[in-house]
Amino acid sequence: MTFRDLNLKKPLWKALDELGYQFPTNIQSSGFNVMMSGKDTIGIAQTGTGKTLAYLLPCLCMWEFSKEPHPQILIIVPTRELVTQVVSEVEKLTTYMNVTTCGVYGGTNMNTQAKMVMLGLDILVGTPGRILDLAACGSLQLKQIKKVVIDEVDETLSLGFRPQLLHIFDYLPTKRQHMVFSATLPEEVSLFLDDLLITPVRVEAARAGLPIDKIDQTGYRVPNFLSKVTLLQHLIQETEANSKILVFVSSRTLADLLFEALEPSLSDSLGIIHSNKAQNFRFDTVQKFQNGAIRVLIATDLIARGIDVIDVTHVINFDIPESPENYIHRIGRTGRADKNGIAITFVSEKDESALLAIEELMQQQLLFTKVTEDIEFTEELLEFEKPKIIVPGKNSKLPSSENRGPSFHEKIAKNKKVNVRYNHKKAMLEKYGKPKRKR
Ligand code: AMP
């Protein structure tokens, strides 16, 4: 099947031709007619399978020119990076259409975005908080919305965005079509969607949670932080000079620590991104990674989802992700758009249960590679890795008074005394009677 077999508008065919896209991916072809029929749709597709176009194409086909300045299509995504990425995909597809798209997200001046929105637009892409703020202050009118897309729906519904999302729905007309997309769909998100969607049709490019088979996955058993650094340096040296390596760590502090450890050997070709970095720095870093100026990028789960960086050759899980779904999202940063990818995961003793959960979700075991003899691991632990020693009486907490049991010995007589407060006025009254007032 080619894109010509889908009932698209001519300007879309033209744009797809220019992009060099000839064949729709699985989710694009299987979801197209369902979405075009106007039904609520749940799209389960691994990242990198073309799910952005899967919802954009039907949305753009159903879009109708209107003189109204208010948007018809609302696309809600969880991160600012994803906003700019989706906006850029829409712009590429609408080169030959008279469609205005606008991206809004927090952390930047709201007035500028409010002014932009008030100039008139057809498609709004944004993060929940900023969409809500703009709607609440009256700059954004959502009464013309016909299509609502929620991308990375499990994340969008879990990041504490849920109350904001529900509030956004209050501004929308009741008659609207929903299209929700994700690679994974945990039970609680499914339950939430049961309430939101009307008899949705489920379109699956593959079973939820299944990683792309073009990604070669392997694991290494590594005992601690410093040994992980040694192995990582070795792996980076081993890869070809044009490789793009994305290294995921579990927290911002660890990301900073790893950056310090790798910077002497990698200097300018090393980058870091996490939520404590300024927005411009974040965009700039992703851009540099995109164009190859940065070869190794250290990241937290902030960019585990949706972000499409061309030709990421390796994803290295320096720390195993806490949720198994995030493993699928992280490794989905490589092996995109029909390319092969390598995903490497470092596993220490304490990660066994997280590993099991991942294997259960994927329904396959992770194969482990033995480290070569020239790599020496250390037993040295950094402060945060050392087991906490609890000194009784110092670190132990006393139970609250109502939970405390009786003491194990009788109180001596002097300690049984109940303190009675001495009241001077009362004592004087008892001794001398009521004082006579002077006339
Ligand atoms: P996504 O899963 O939406 O993040 O897309 C992953 C990458 O595949 C993006 O760079 C898309 O531009 C690209 N892509 C999407 N659809 C196609 C297609 N039909 N043919 C070739 N590349 C595509």
336 lines ligand 1 (CB under 6 A): yes
Answering whether pTM is above 0.95, one says: no
Nearest by Cα to 101 from 82, 84, 123, 127: 123
DSSP state of 333: T
Lowest mean pLDDT across 53-57, 94-98, 209-213: 209-213
Average pLDDT over residues 273-288: 85
Average pLDDT over residues 15-44: 92
Residues 408, 409, 414, 420: is their CA dihedral positive or negative? positive
What domains can be seen in the chain, in order of their start residue?
A: 3-204 (3.40.50.300), 215-372 (3.40.50.300)
Q: How many CB atoms lie within 10 A of CB 74?
A: 24
In this prediction, residue 14 has a pLDDT band, given cuts at 50, 70 and 90, of very high
What is the CB-side half-sphere exposure of residue 54 using CA atoms within 13 A? 28
Q: What is the pLDDT of residue 38?
A: 95
Which helix or strand (DSSP H or E) is residue 121 part of? Answer: none
Which helix or strand (DSSP H or E) is residue 279 part of? Answer: helix 279-290
In this prediction, residue 366 has a pLDDT band, given cuts at 50, 70 and 90, of very high
d(CA 366, CA 359): 7
155 lines ligand 1 (CB under 6 A): no
Q: What is the pLDDT of residue 233?
A: 95
Query: Contact 246/309 with Cβ under 8 angstroms?
Result: yes
In this prediction, residue 207 has a pLDDT band, given cuts at 50, 70 and 90, of very low
Q: What is the pLDDT of residue 351?
A: 94
126 lines ligand 1 (CB under 6 A): no
Q: What is the pLDDT of residue 209?
A: 47
Pull the structure tokens for residue 303.
């960019």
Q: What is the pLDDT of residue 174?
A: 93
Which helix or strand (DSSP H or E) is residue 246 part of? Answer: strand 245-248
Q: What is the pLDDT of residue 396?
A: 55
Q: What is the pLDDT of residue 208?
A: 42
Average pLDDT over residues 202-215: 66
Nearest atom in ligand 1 to the alpha carbon of residue 310 is 10
- Does residue 257 register a pLDDT over 90? yes
Query: Contact 325/186 with Cβ under 8 angstroms?
Result: yes
Q: What is the pLDDT of residue 187?
A: 80
As to burial, measured by CB atoms within 10 angstroms (0-12 exposed, 13-18 middle, 19+ buried), residue 427 is: exposed
Residue tagged 């995903």 (tokens): 343
d(CA 229, CA 188): 37
Average pLDDT over residues 213-224: 90
- Does residue 412 register a pLDDT over 90? no
As to burial, measured by CB atoms within 10 angstroms (0-12 exposed, 13-18 middle, 19+ buried), residue 139 is: middle
- Does residue 404 register a pLDDT over 70? no
| Residue with CA nearest ligand 1 atom 11 | 50
Q: What is the pLDDT of residue 26?
A: 84
Average pLDDT over residues 395-403: 56
- Does residue 345 register a pLDDT over 70? yes
Lowest mean pLDDT across 41-45, 114-118, 184-188, 326-330: 184-188
Question: What b/e string do you get for 243-277 counting C-beta neighbours within 10 Å, with b at 16 or more?
Answer: ebbbbbbbeeebbebbbebbeeeeeebbbbbbeeb
Q: What is the residue type of 388?
A: K
Q: Please name the residues in contact with 6: beta carbons below 8 A apart, sequence gap of 6 or more.
A: 24, 28, 29, 32, 57
In this prediction, residue 58 has a pLDDT band, given cuts at 50, 70 and 90, of very high
Ligand 1 centroid distance, CA of 234 (Å): 32
Ligand 1 centroid distance, CA of 50 (Å): 4
Give me the percent of the chain exceeding a pLDDT of 70. 88
pLDDT averaged over every residue in the chain: 86
Q: What is the pLDDT of residue 414?
A: 67
Ligand 1 centroid distance, CA of 337 (Å): 5
- Does residue 100 register a pLDDT over 60? yes
19 lines ligand 1 (CB under 6 A): no
Query: C-alpha distances in angstroms, 132 versus 152, 158, 165, 171?
Result: 18, 17, 8, 9
Testing ligand 1's pocket by substitution, the residue of 25, 286, 338 carrying the most ligand atoms inside 8 A of its CB is: 25
Query: C-alpha distances in angstroms, 401 versus 391, 408, 417?
Result: 22, 16, 20
Query: Contact 324/357 with Cβ under 8 angstroms?
Result: yes
Give me the percent of the chain exceeding a pLDDT of 90. 52
Nearest atom in ligand 1 to the alpha carbon of residue 51 is 3
Query: Contact 178/196 with Cβ under 8 angstroms?
Result: yes
